[in-house]
Amino acid sequence: MTGLVWLCKRETLRVSKLWTQTVLAPVISSILFILVFGLSLGGRIDQVSSVDYEVFIVPGLITMGMVQAAYANNASSIFQARFDRYIHDVLAAPMSPWQMTFGYTVGGIFRALAIGASLLVLATILVGVPIERPFALAAAVALGLILFSALGVVVGIYAETWDHTTFIANIVILPLAFVGGVFYSIEVLPSPWEELSHFNPVFYLVNAVRFGFLGESDVSVWLSLGVTAALAVPVYAWSQWLFTTGRRLKD
């Protein structure tokens, strides 16, 4: 287990050493969203799901900031380690494949939690966001971070260039987050956009987190948690399979 502890320390050390890029920058971006969309436009928008607009958008923005960070951290950390080949130091070490998978997943979770906690403190000060259902919130955050951290590990292992890692972030995760109900309730969408939103996995995660904060959600929290878990388990298993077989990691 010692090797696992040190791999977890290494992955969190990297986040800490680069804190201005890994934590500060995404926190500032998300706070700007709250300030611009919430405080400046919020006064002109009616309540959404019986809460003020500037409060309504906070859970989605925290979710978006966290999942992007969880993914980007692990994709870049693994890709860099493969590119510079210092991942060999871990692959040759007396560690089980499950320990390697878990150790590399932890960095993304740590970074996302640092961002989420910072945003929660700032959002509480700025707009006073409540936490109505803490257990549901904890479950949603845990499942969402496992899903996107593991996705980062998988993409970091398959990527051939830096562009591949940013492609998934910019072309898949960011658009799905934007149309996943971060800024609106899907009740206001016309057909077929409302129905199409149900095929967006980030929609369920945003709603699970929103339920944890506000006690309000567009869909059942059980459905949201179920869909997120149904994605998190196979993606984590995929990353585990890559470390177990050595595919893409070992020639």
Partner 1 sequence: MFRNDSALSLRGLTKRYDDGTVALEDFDLEIPAGAFFGLLGPNGAGKTTLISAVCNLVRITDGQISVFGEPHDSMAARRSIGLAEQDINLDRFLTVRETLVYHGGYFGMDDLEPRADEMIEAFGLQSKRDVRAPKLSGGQRRRLLLARALMHRPRLVILDEPTAGVDFELRTELWRYIRQLHSEGTTILLTTHYLEEAEELCDEIALIRGGRLIARDSSEGLREHFGAARLQDVYVKAMAS
Binding site for partner 1 (CB under 8 A): 2-3, 5-7, 9-10, 13-14, 17-18, 80-81, 84-86, 88-95, 245-246, 250-251
- Rounded least distance, CB 245 to partner 1, Å: 8
Shortest CB 94 distance to partner 1, Å: 4
* Tokens (6 digits) for 174: 């960011």
Residue type, 32: L
Q: Measured from the CB atom, is 10 or 120 closer to partner 1?
A: 10
**Smallest separation (angstroms) from partner 1 to the CB of 195:** 43
Q: Cβ 246 to partner 1, closest distance in Å? A: 5
Contact criterion met (CB below 8 Å) for 82 and 154 = no
Assigned token pair, 16:
């800490």
Q: How far apart are CA 212 and CA 126, in angstroms?
A: 19
Q: How far apart are CA 244 and CA 49, in angstroms?
A: 46
CB atoms within 10 A of CB 87: 21
Listing DSSP states for 67-82 in one string gives HHHHHHHHHHHHHHHH
* SS3 state of residue 26: helix
CB of 176 to partner 1, least distance (A): 30
> Please, what is the minimum distance in Å from the beta carbon of residue 207 to partner 1?
37
CA distances in angstroms from 137 to 144, 175, 211, listed in the order given = 10, 23, 7
Tokens 């993606």 correspond to 235
DSSP state, residue 24: I
d(CA 247, CA 132): 44
